[in-house]
């Protein structure tokens, strides 16, 4: 069967991307109209409109997707590949979640629902900055639109013929799709809000700790195979694009660090608030950046050398490292112009830049991105411990330095053990993520109990 792209869907996706970029600039746009003397009600309306526009545009695609299944529109490729002309309503509902494409669009739906619930019910969790939540959501949604949302879901078949999979396969795939979309969707929907969770001694740390562990466990034990059905040779290879499936799985895995980064940021803020920068701060920054760069490159060579030639790895690294290092550099320089008041603002920006750059870089490739994820965890973890080890300050006791040295060594050993223990890089990443959380908790327990003046 010959398939063609849907012009309507392409236009909606393009407009959705533009709306995400507009949401990124929501605060400057509102400030511009405030300077022009617009009323407060108009400014509030603009803010809400910018927040709702990406959601409304996606709902148009989702409603169209659901209607095609309930009306058995065989010109819709997903309907033709999963249903018959006389399919029962229960089959039509299950088919919404079937296949990697169905699971993907429903994942985005649950992600969006979670984000909406948290956004319009501020009493559920208290956040520091709503504009920052908008920016993190925009980044997340841009990655989803360009990486997760499958083009095939909205392709059209000219012949209008049904070519469905078996009922047993449909239900098995749909059950896995429901589970995967619920797990990944809820965790990712919480991600932008977790990034800006207001500090609370009783709530913040336990909540971020739980989200971090659940995020890593979801990769380790979650039904990621429902997003990559060819891994179990369940689906007909002619139906799906193998590289696209692998790429999409990599992006979902990369996005799950949205669960890990909030607790990393929380620990880094805790360090900066309790231990102001001491002597050798610039040395700590330089060593952290150098170690981060070495980690990103070396672990890619180590993990991929059995499968790829050194020349191929080097070529891919040139492409993949560019967005990561570019954003890391930009975010490291932003605090210098007064956009950050932390004790170590450049390192804080370095961590944010690595995070944003890695997500954007994951859109380009598959295996190389997964290998970079493992180097990324080492780079970020050591950016927390190296300043403590290198700097000199009355608050940096020998005991605290020793704990950071030991946990750094344990983290490096864990990398070597994980790489040798697991052949699948999807297992290496969450294992290292869980280990890093517990090691950060150990280091955090040794910090001074009271916030020190800067």
Across the range 249-270, mean pLDDT stands at: 87
Q: Report the share of the chain in percent with pLDDT over 70.
A: 87
pLDDT per position as a tens digit, 157-206: 776 677 777 787 788 888 888 888 899 999 999 999 999 888 776 788 88
pLDDT for res 197: 87
pLDDT for res 430: 87
| Separation of alpha carbons 200 and 53, rounded Å | 32
pLDDT per position as a tens digit, 119-151: 888 778 888 888 999 999 999 999 999 888 876
| Separation of alpha carbons 15 and 290, rounded Å | 40
To 10 degrees, the CA torsion angle through 98, 103, 108, 114?
90
CB contact at 8 A, 193 and 130: no
pLDDT per position as a tens digit, 419-451: 778 766 677 888 889 999 999 999 988 888 766
Across the range 288-295, mean pLDDT stands at: 86
pLDDT for res 335: 67
Q: pLDDT band at residue 231, thresholds of 50, 70 and 90?
A: very low
Query: Is residue 303 scored above 90 in pLDDT?
Result: no
Across the range 219-230, mean pLDDT stands at: 69
pLDDT per position as a tens digit, 10-42: 888 899 999 999 999 888 898 888 888 888 888
CB contact at 8 A, 110 and 186: yes
| Separation of alpha carbons 186 and 249, rounded Å | 17
pLDDT for res 55: 93
Across the range 91-108, mean pLDDT stands at: 86
Largest CA distance in the chain: 76
| Separation of alpha carbons 147 and 160, rounded Å | 28
CB contact at 8 A, 263 and 270: no
Can you name the residues that pair with 3 across neighbouring β-strands?
157
The helix (H) or strand (E) run that includes residue 3 is strand 3-4
For 87-196, strand residue ranges (E) read 156-157
Residue by residue, DSSP assigns 340-361 as --SSSHHHHHHHHHHHHHHHHH
pLDDT for res 250: 78
Query: 25-44 as b/e, with b when 16 or more CB fall inside 10 Å?
Result: ebbebbeeeeeeeeeeeeee
Q: Report the share of the chain in percent with pLDDT over 90.
A: 21
- pTM for the structure as a whole: 0.88
To 10 degrees, the CA torsion angle through 142, 144, 150, 155?
-40
Map tokens 């039509």 to a residue: 92
| Separation of alpha carbons 454 and 390, rounded Å | 19
75: left (phi over 0), alpha (psi -120 to 50) or beta: alpha
Query: Is residue 243 scored above 70 in pLDDT?
Result: no
pLDDT per position as a tens digit, 151-169: 666 777 776 677 777 787 7
CB contact at 8 A, 400 and 374: no
Across the range 356-368, mean pLDDT stands at: 77
Query: Is residue 5 scored above 80 in pLDDT?
Result: no
Residues in the chain: 454
């Amino acid at each position: 069967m010959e398939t063609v792209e849907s012009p309507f869907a392409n236009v909606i996706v393009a407009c959705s991307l533009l709306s995400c970029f507009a949401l990124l600039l929501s605060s400057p746009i509102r400030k511009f109209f405030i300077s022009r003397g617009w009323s407060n009600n108009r400014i509030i309306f603009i803010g809400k409109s910018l927040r709702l526009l990406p959601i409304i545009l996606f709902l148009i695609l989702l409603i169209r997707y659901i209607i095609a299944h309930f009306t058995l529109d065989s010109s819709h490729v997903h309907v033709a590949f999963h249903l018959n002309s006389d399919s029962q309503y229960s089959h039509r509902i299950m088919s919404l979640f079937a296949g990697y494409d169905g699971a993907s669009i429903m994942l985005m739906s649950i992600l969006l629902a979670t984000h909406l619930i948290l956004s319009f019910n501020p009493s559920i969790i208290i956040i520091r900055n709503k504009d920052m939540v908008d920016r993190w959501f925009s980044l997340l949604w841009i990655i989803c639109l360009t990486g997760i949302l499958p083009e095939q879901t909205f392709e059209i078949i000219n012949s209008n013929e049904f070519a469905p999979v078996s009922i047993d396969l449909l239900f098995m795939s749909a059950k896995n799709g429901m589970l995967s979309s619920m797990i990944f969707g809820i965790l990712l929907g919480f991600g932008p809000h977790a990034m800006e969770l207001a500090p609370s001694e009783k709530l913040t740390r336990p909540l971020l700790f739980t989200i971090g562990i659940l995020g890593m466990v979801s990769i380790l034990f979650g039904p990621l195979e429902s997003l990559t059905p060819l891994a179990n040779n369940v689906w007909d290879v002619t139906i799906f694009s193998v590289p696209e499936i692998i790429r999409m799985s990599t992006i979902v895995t990369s996005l799950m660090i949205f669960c890990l980064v909030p607790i990393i940021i929380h620990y880094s803020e805790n360090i900066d608030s309790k231990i102001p920068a001491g002597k050798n701060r610039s040395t700590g920054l330089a060593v952290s950046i150098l170690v981060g760069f070495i980690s990103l490159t070396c672990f890619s060579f180590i993990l991929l050398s059995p499968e790829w030639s050194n020349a191929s790895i080097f070529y891919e690294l040139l492409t993949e490292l560019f967005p990561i290092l570019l954003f890391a550099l930009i975010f490291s320089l932003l605090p210098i112009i007064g956009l950050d008041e932390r004790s170590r603002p450049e390192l804080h920006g370095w961590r944010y830049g690595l995070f944003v750059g890695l997500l954007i870089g994951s859109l380009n490739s598959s295996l190389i991105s997964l290998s970079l994820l493992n180097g990324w965890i080492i780079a970020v973890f050591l950016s927390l411990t190296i300043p403590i080890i290198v700097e000199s300050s009355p608050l940096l006791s020998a005991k605290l330095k020793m704990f950071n040295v030991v946990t750094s060594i344990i983290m490096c050993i864990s990398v070597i053990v994980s790489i040798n223990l697991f052949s699948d890089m999807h297992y290496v990443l969450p294992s290292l993520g869980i280990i890093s959380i517990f090691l950060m908790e150990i280091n955090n327990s040794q910090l001074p109990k009271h916030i020190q003046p800067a």
